[in-house]
Each structure stands twice: as C-alpha cells, then as structure tokens.
Amino acid sequence: MNEDQRLSTDPELGAWRVLLGRLVSRWATGSFSTGAEFASRIAAAADELNHHPDVDLRYPHVTVTTVSHDVGRLTDRDRRLALAVSRIAEELGVEPAPPGALAELEIGLDVMVQADVEPFWRAVLGYEGTGGADGGELVDPSGRQPTLWFQQMDEPRTQRNRFHLDLTVPHDVAQERLARAIEAGGRLVSAEHAPSWWVLADAEGNEVCICTWQGRGTA
C-alpha cells in the first residue's frame, strides 16, 4: 500500500482527500475574518511542525494543500500537518466542505515531438518545466493556473481535438461526477483505465478525463 492509498483510507483524515499526489481539504469559514484567523493559526502550526502547506484564503472558504516537496510525494509529515489543521478547524467551529467541492484541473496536449512545441508553451504561458523523466510537464510558478502536460502520440489522431482536460476529483465522488456529466449530455468514451480515469466527451466530441488516485502506482 502506497502513501496515497494509506492516507485516503485513514479514518482520522475524514476532511482530506488525495488529489494529484497531494492532501487537500476545504473549510467553509463563513466569513473572511474567520478564514483569516484560521489561516493565521495554520501558519503558526506549520512553523511549529516545520512543514508548510499552501493556504488559499477566500470568502467564504479556505483551501489547504500539503505535500512533502523535498521528496515529491506524501509522507507522514503531511498527515501530522493535516491532523493539526483539522484540530484548529474544530476549535474554531469551522466545518469541512463536501468532497465534491474539491478538484484539480490539468490540460493535456497531444504532441508528436514535445521538444518542438514545449518552448512555445513555456514562453507564452510563463510556465516552468518540472523536468520529469518522461519529459515532464509545465506548471505555473505561482500555482494558480492549470498544469499543462504533453501526451506523446505515435501518429496524429485527426478525429479528435489535440487538447483535452484532466479533472482530478476525490475517489469517492468520481462516480457521481461521471453520472452527472452523462446526464448533462455527455457520453462515456472509455472506462478501460477506471477507476484511475474515465474518458468522457460532450455532444461535439470534446474530451475530458475524470481522474482519481486509484490504480496509480499501487503496490
């Protein structure tokens, strides 16, 4: 069992979900001032634990994301921090938002030669490369915009758009999101890789993948 699996089934992490290898939670603060107090206390706890999450303060919610950047994956440090954040939320009377409110969006681009197109997208978006072994992906340095990754093709597929969206959702809401999309006029293109991802398309064939952590890197 890898860390994604272990933390996804940890009963003490009920407010948290694993998305793209990170622990994520959202808290319904109800007011900006409560959110600011919550964020301030998270910052103090993070300093004490010497492990710092990303905190997105908005009205009326706060989103917290944690991963161990030095090793590029989740560790027990993230679990300890998540539990500390949950305790602070309980003390402030802040409730977790439903899991369906959580998602991470990426953009996939079909390419024949990644080296030919990556410099353009890096320049036009102002993104940085991750330098992964598989050619990596491009990310917004500020962490605000969707990641752009390149899907290597053996030959052009002219029957489909070259861009598609990858929407990563909590594993326990994927089926609901899938059903809602189909009810809204979409169609299931492929479930071959489920529950890691399903491929859907709208009425004109534009594709989106609904993704979860399940099936990825399992032991």
Residues of the chain with CATH 3.30.1360.20: 3-101
- For the cut 50, the answer to whether the pLDDT of residue 218 exceeds it is no
Q: Among 34-38, 156-160, 185-189, 215-219, where is mean pLDDT lowest?
A: 215-219
Residues of the chain with CATH 3.10.180.10: 107-211
Residue of 177, 214, 167 whose CA lies nearest to 9: 214
Length of the chain: 219
Determine contact, residues 216/21, Cβ cutoff 8 Å. Answer: no
User: Thinking of the domain 3-101, which architecture would CATH place it in?
Assistant: 2-Layer Sandwich (3.30)
Residues 7-45 as b/e (b if ≥16 CB within 10 A, e otherwise) read bbeeeebebbbbbbbbbbbbbbbeeeebbebbbebbeeb
Q: What is the pLDDT of residue 155?
A: 86
Determine contact, residues 149/159, Cβ cutoff 8 Å. Answer: no
pLDDT in tens, 60-74: 999 999 999 999 899
- For the cut 50, the answer to whether the pLDDT of residue 185 exceeds it is yes
Q: What is the pLDDT of residue 122?
A: 95
Q: What is the pLDDT of residue 217?
A: 44
Beta-bridge mates of residue 201: 187, 207
Q: What is the pLDDT of residue 130?
A: 83
The stretch 168-187 carries a mean pLDDT of 97
The stretch 138-165 carries a mean pLDDT of 90
Determine contact, residues 188/197, Cβ cutoff 8 Å. Answer: no
Q: Say which residue, 149 or 156, is predicted with more confidence.
A: 149
Beta-bridge mates of residue 110: 151
Q: What is the pLDDT of residue 216?
A: 58
The domain 107-211 is classified under which CATH number: 3.10.180.10, 3.40.190.10, 3.90.550.10, 3.40.50.720?
A: 3.10.180.10
Determine contact, residues 165/105, Cβ cutoff 8 Å. Answer: yes
